Amino acid sequence: MIRLHIPHDLAPGAQFALDEGQSRYLSVVMRQAVGDLVAVFNGRDGEWLALIATVGKRIVTVTAQTCARPQNIGPDLDLVIALVKRGRLETIVEKTAELGVRRVRLVTTERTNADHVRIERLRAIAMEASEQTGRLDVPEIAEPVKLDRLLAEWDPTRRLLFCDEAGDASTVFEAVTTPGPWAILIGPEGGFSPAEREHLRSQPFTVPANLGPRILRADTAAISALTLWQAAVGDWR
């Protein structure tokens, strides 16, 4: 069944118009008709079945029927990702939705070529991936900040898994043994600078871990680290 994220409150009989992109998708691409059912969610009220009430090429309206799944929320897991090239950054954002990340925090580092980030496009990718992966919320995506500032303002009760290429770090499974608020930090393609690595290692909330014997691209490192975290203490157990 088609799933759509919508901003409206959901209650029995609630009626609303879908936005133009969703309307065109339903009417033109998926050829849905009056009386067809779609699933809708807003991140607050669970997943609802909604009946298509009117169909135009530009506006489709639906009426919420019944709640099919109560709202839930995944583990308290953030991904902190250095700005990498656009294609890989977009892939990573798509994967954060599939892998149950709650928030994506973009950072710039010494070796980041911080060109312009199209944050609205990243948010659209996160929304579409959330629709397709079946989750009931959408990862938040925060505006980029500098790594120094992020660390200075860090809530020390949230541990930060720092994927360190240095060979002496333990495995993710050795490093992540207790649940609770976590974030995973993935550096830029050029790696962290020695000063940044030193600074990261000196923070009381950082936990270094290694990701095997080969060099991984940022998208692979993000997916692998998130997977291992979910298997260790998240909702893949």
Nearest approach in angstroms of CB 29 to its own copies is 16
Region of 77-85, 179-187, 197-205, 221-229 interacting with its own copies (CB under 8 A): 221-229
- Rule CB under 8 A: say whether 211 interacts with its own copies: yes
Judged by CB under 8 A, the number of residues near its own copies is 30
**Among residues 133, 154, 191, 201, which is the contact residue for its own copies, using CB under 8 A?**
133
CA atoms within 13 A on the CB side of 63: 9
Instruction: Please identify, using beta-carbon distances, which residue of 95 and 102 lies nearer to its own copies.
Output: 95
Among 19, 36, 98, 128, binds its own copies (CB under 8 A): 98
CA atoms within 13 A on the CB side of 118: 10
Amino acid at site 136: L
- Should residue 212 be labelled a site residue for its own copies when binding is judged by CB under 8 A? yes
Binding mask 148-187 for its own copies (x = CB under 8 A): -----------------------xxx--------------
Q: Are 171 and 209 in contact (CB under 8 A)?
A: yes
Q: Is residue 235 a contact residue for its own copies (CB under 8 A)?
A: yes
Write the DSSP assignment of the chain as a string of letters.
Answer: --EEE-SS---TT-EEEPPHHHHHIIIIIS---TT-EEEEE-SSS-EEEEEEEEE-SS-EEEEEEEEEE------SEEEEEE---HHHHHHHHHHHHHTT-SEEEEEE-TT-------HHHHHHHHHHHHHHHT-SS--EEEEEEEHHHHHHT--TTSEEEEE--STTSPBHHHH--S-SSEEEEE--TT---HHHHHHHHHSTTEEEEB--SS---HHHHHHHHHHHHHHHHSTT-
Q: Does 135 contact its own copies by CB under 8 A? A: yes
Least distance to its own copies from the beta carbon of 218, Å? 11
Binding status of residue 128 toward its own copies by CB under 8 A: no
Q: Is 198 in the site for its own copies (CB under 8 A)?
A: no
CB closer to its own copies out of 74 and 181: 74
Considering only the stretches 46-54, 59-67, 139-147, 229-237, report the one whose residues sit in contact with its own copies under the rule CB under 8 A: 229-237
Bridge-based pairing state of the strands 60-69 and 37-41: unpaired
237 binds its own copies (CB under 8 A): yes
Q: Does 228 bind its own copies (CB under 8 A)?
A: yes
- Binding residues for its own copies, rule: CB under 8 A, are 91, 94-95, 98-100, 132-135, 171-173, 211-217, 220, 223-224, 227-228, 230-231, 235-237
